[in-house]
Homo-oligomer: A and B are copies of this chain.
Amino acid sequence: MKKQIRLLGVDDAPFSFDDKVVRVIGVVMRGGEYVEGVLRRQVTIDGTDATGTCIEMIESTRHRKQLKSFILDGVSLGGFNIVDIEKIFSRTDLPVITLTRDLPDFKQIEFALKQHFKDWENRLVIMTRGQLHQVKTKHNPIYVKCAGINIDEAKEIIKLSTIRGVIPEPIRLAHLIASGITRGESYGKA
């Protein structure tokens, strides 16, 4: 696999419980090295528009033709606004990789969804669909899901786009930008 493949990484901004919408930042990079573009959208907090917003970002960017993969931090944007990675792949034909540092606690998630959403079952189905792979790194393991790509290719993309730590640069940068523009200075980890 080429080291310079184009990746679009996405993360959401921090938000408070008063907010209705939250910014979503996308970063287009060649591998983990060179930033080619920055995108900004918004999604409804706890809404159902995250999947559509991801599809629209992919389809409308000027970098569309060069993109080889879409990388997401976790499986939701803006609280419980679940991202349907299978749907993104089937609509755009762009392979999708999601990753998290922590093993999701699906019992706790199910409990929270039941408390807050009439359509909790649908959200849970999307969230738990597909295999969750534990991937070893030099540091702690990460948890990876993918659509339209096998786990070995996904691992390769994660590896070639990670410079320090365990988070690929496109989503690490998306996190820095999203938190920086919201709070005045970026903080923490994607």
Contacts and interface: CB of A to CB of B under 8 A. Distances in A.
A185 B34 contact: no
A177 B34 contact: no
Nearest to A176: B38
A186 interface: yes
Interface string A110-141: 00000000000000000000000000000000
Q: Could you say which of A37, A164, A184 has the most chain B C-beta atoms within 10 Å of its C-beta? A: A184
A60 to B, nearest CB: 8
Within the oligomer, what is the number of copies of this chain? 2
A40 B180 CA distance: 6
A39 B184 CA distance: 5
B34 A180 contact: no
Given A39-B185, A177-B181, 14 more contacts: A25-B181, A34-B164, A35-B173, A37-B176, A37-B185, A38-B176, A38-B180, A38-B181, A38-B186, A40-B181, A40-B182, A40-B184, A60-B185, A181-B181
Interface of A: 23, 25, 33-35, 37-41, 60-62, 163-164, 173, 176-177, 179-182, 184-186
6 contacts: A23-B181, A25-B180, A35-B176, A37-B176, A38-B176, A38-B177
